[in-house]
Amino acid sequence: MTIHSTSEVSEAYIALGANLGDREGTLKEALNRLDHYDGIEVVRCSNVYETEPVGYLDQPQFLNMAAALRTTLAPENLLHVMLDIEAQLGRVRDIRYGPRTVDLDLLWVEGQSYDTADLTLPHPRMLERAFVLVPLSDIVLPDEDSSGLRGIITAALQDIDGKEGMRLWTSNVWERGSEHSES
């Protein structure tokens, strides 16, 4: 728990993907590093799914998942932390939509919309991607949904291709204290 109760806390949802190296180990480590960061708490994790690559096809299969966070950080600062963790875990940016040790996308932050050079919220491609929507639907709870996000996800999932190509990899990827973080 790294949240100070005097600050305003927001709920945020992120997507995680990995298709190079120790994919599951890297996802766990990304979650550890987020949870250890002052002002971020990982509150729920989805199942992890193995998925066929989308967009750029000549690359290994991905592991994809989503996580719910509580944070006192402003969205641009949360994104900055996420990009920093990607770099720490060996993310190299070369091919657009290409292979990566880890990808962290900020999908949605309670009550926030952004359209700046560095940050678009909600994430502009989240509703087009089964590898985002299926994990997200695991963790967006109906009784916490004052924003309509659950309904938006359910509607988008009905129309989308690609769900069939997703295989459950593990239902229990991370819990607090289960891994030692080097950060």
Ligand X SMILES: Nc1ncnc2c1ncn2[C@@H]1O[C@H](COP(=O)(O)OP(=O)(O)OP(=O)(O)O)[C@@H](O)[C@H]1O
Ligand Y SMILES: Nc1nc2c(c(=O)[nH]1)N=C(CO)CN2
Residues in contact with ligand X by CB under 6 A are 79, 83, 93, 96-97, 103, 105-106, 118-121, 123, 125
Return residues touching ligand Y (CB under 6 A).
17, 51-55, 62, 64, 97, 103, 131
Nearer to ligand Y, 39 or 166 (CB): 166
105 is catalytic: yes
User: Is 103 a catalytic site residue?
Assistant: yes
CB neighbour burial string for 94-127, b if at least 16 within 10 angstroms, e if fewer:
eeeeebbbbbbbbbbbbeeeeeeeebebbbeebb
User: Whole-number minimum distance, CB 9 to ligand Y, in Å?
Assistant: 28
| Full DSSP string of 87-108 | HHTT----STT---S-EEEEEE
Amino acid at position 119, single letter? L
Catalytic (active site) residue 91: yes
Residue 143 binds which entry of ligand Y, ligand X, none, CB below 5-8 Å type-dependent:
none
Helix axes 149-159, 130-139, angle to 10 degrees: 140
CA distance linking residue 183 with residue 23, whole number of Å: 18
- Name the catalytic one among 84, 105, 125, 150: 105
**Minimum CB–partner distance for residue 132 and ligand X (Å):** 9
State the Cα–Cα distance between residues 90 and 22, nearest whole angstrom.
12
Q: Please identify the residue of the shown chain whose CB is closest to the bound ligand X.
A: 106
Chain position whose Cβ is nearest to ligand Y: 17
Cα angle 149, 102, 68 (rounded to 5 degrees) comes to: 30
Provide the minimum distance between the beta carbon of 180 and ligand X in the complex, in angstroms, as a whole number: 27
Cα separation, 77 vs 165, in Å, equals: 34
Q: Which does 64 bind (CB under 5 to 8 A by kind): ligand X, ligand Y, none?
A: ligand Y
In the complex, minimum distance from the CB of residue 51 to ligand Y, in angstroms, rounded to a whole number: 4
Q: Report the Cα 130 to chain-centroid distance in Å.
A: 13
- Could you confirm whether 100 is annotated as catalytic? yes
106 makes contact, choosing from ligand Y, ligand X, none, with CB < 5 to 8 Å by partner type, with ligand X
> Mind telling me the catalytic residues?
91, 100, 103, 105
